[in-house]
Structure 1
Amino acid sequence: MSDWVLIAVLGTVTLGAVNVLDSHLIGRRLPSLRAFLLPASTFILLLTLVVMFLAPLPVGVSGGTLAAAIASGIIRAISIVLLLNIYRSEEVSWAVPVYHTYPVFVALMAVPFLGESLGLLQWLAIGVMVSGTLLIAIRRNAAGGIRWLGRPLLLLLAAALLNAVADVTGKYALGEISFWNMYWIGSLCLVVMFLGFSLRRSVLREVLALPRLGRLGALMVFNETLAMVGILLVFQAMALGPVSLVSAITGARPIFVFFLALAINRLLPGSLLRVDTGRRAVLLRLAATLLIGIGIALIYLA
């Protein structure tokens, strides 16, 4: 196995673990989304300042490139806030696969904005991913009938669309700056937005009043450090190997999230929010997750 393949797999698994930990913290351990964002953004800011000191912007970087990088960071931050908000009411093993339909929007935007054309296999991939999204959105009601999670599904698709826009603008910026620069610019945008949303006296009182604050803080530090490691592993894989193949590997993150969430709820029941572990639900979720993963791979490998 090539080095970049192993690095991409490690980065994908790491970020999958971060998704599950985010869901646990937001859905079970903290009283509100703001109470999660305030300490998380504080620690992210410390990590960002270190990276910014070690990897300053190159001399003579253009204003257009800098604007694209900042726009990418702001748009991605909005996308992440939407995703984190969904974690408070929905299962991570449902939310993450739907969120990772964003390569569909990347492919669709590439036609009018980048002058690219889609082949038959890529359109087939879009159809496969849409089918997976519809399948994974199915829920059984109390009477045994089928119901659809309309609003959460629409919010997740909006988050996926924003993430795709961030990728397109970020691709432009990476033509002139390094992925290290993109990391700290994006993180600064994320921190500013998170603190603007969560920096309130009432939120600070909520956090300080939490039981076992030291243990919870250590878990959050571990989670945010893990997130940085996962992102940098993926960036390193992109630097060493073909971007299309690395993207196909990282697009399989929902599959890792599904199995990890399932394993955690088997070993530690109740640690994640309302995960249905019935045989029918598991098989349905697995089929939908695999469809989305196959669709992502087809888009990037076609």
Structure 2
Amino acid sequence: MRITVLAGGVGGARFALGLREAAPDDQISIVANVGDDMWLAGVKVCPDLDSLLYALAGVGDTERGWGRAGESERVSAELTAYGVGWPWFTLGDLDLGTHLARAAMLRDGATLTEATARLSARWPLGVTLLPVTDDEVPTHVVTDEGTMHFEEWWVRTRAQLPARRFVQHGVERSRVSAQARAAIAQADVILLAPSNPVVSIGTIVGIPGVRDALETAAAPIVGVSPIIGGRVVRGMAATCLATIGVEADAAAVAAHYGARSRGGLLDGWLAAEEDAAGLPRLRELGIRAEARPLLLTPGGPAAQVAADALALAARVSSPAG
């Protein structure tokens, strides 16, 4: 079976680990958000791709939830001493090795998809990592104090500076990569990971060609809620949702995605047991919604969440389901 996942960083990585365990014999492709990407101190940094890469390779820092395990930060300290880069955005030395390698590949003419494949080849990931586009579409945040890159708003201000809107710079000139489009078109199941609905999944779907590919895909599309009991599991997605006028609520996020039968994205929606009360209204919207335990803790629980998402996809696609 061919499974394609649309994913952001940390939540996407945890879900991907569970999916790899739940479906070890299947062909898994992960179409990743690149809106957080940037050039910093001369290197190309791809936060979501790298979170996925490191987690699947087993070399990620599980305590911090980002970056490499066993890091040192001597190079970043030197850069700060020279006044280069962002002093509040620390790149570990091992992490910088990845960014330097990627930057070298890109400068030699490789696409981001090609560079990602070369970086991924170092480890047996068990999945194919695909940036949604080879074009640069950095997410900018418009605030009352000016416009800034998403990572500055997210890391330096801790999302405390009110955001007026999110803008993907250059998105109108971008195109979904041929590899990402093929992964969607050829999938037997398409899953939306429990990633930030606005700046991760929203950015992926906003790339020209992605929504068309999803609308015409033969595979069922099932989303996994990033909200449990009315609370965002990780990160500051509630702030992003508030910016676009969506409540931090599992059913509200599913309604925001919409039913594919009515021009939206979803055929099915997997929510947490704590949010079961809000699901009947989704069925009225044309989304088959079910409630299961959703905590993505390592090992069995994360694999069970992935297995439940696949089972829901099977029921969605079955006439008798």
TM-score when normalising by structure 1? 0.32
| Larger strand percent | 2
TM-score when normalising by structure 2? 0.30
Question: Larger RCO: Structure 1 or Structure 2 (Cα < 8 Å, ≥ 6 residues apart)?
Answer: 1
| Larger helix percent | 1
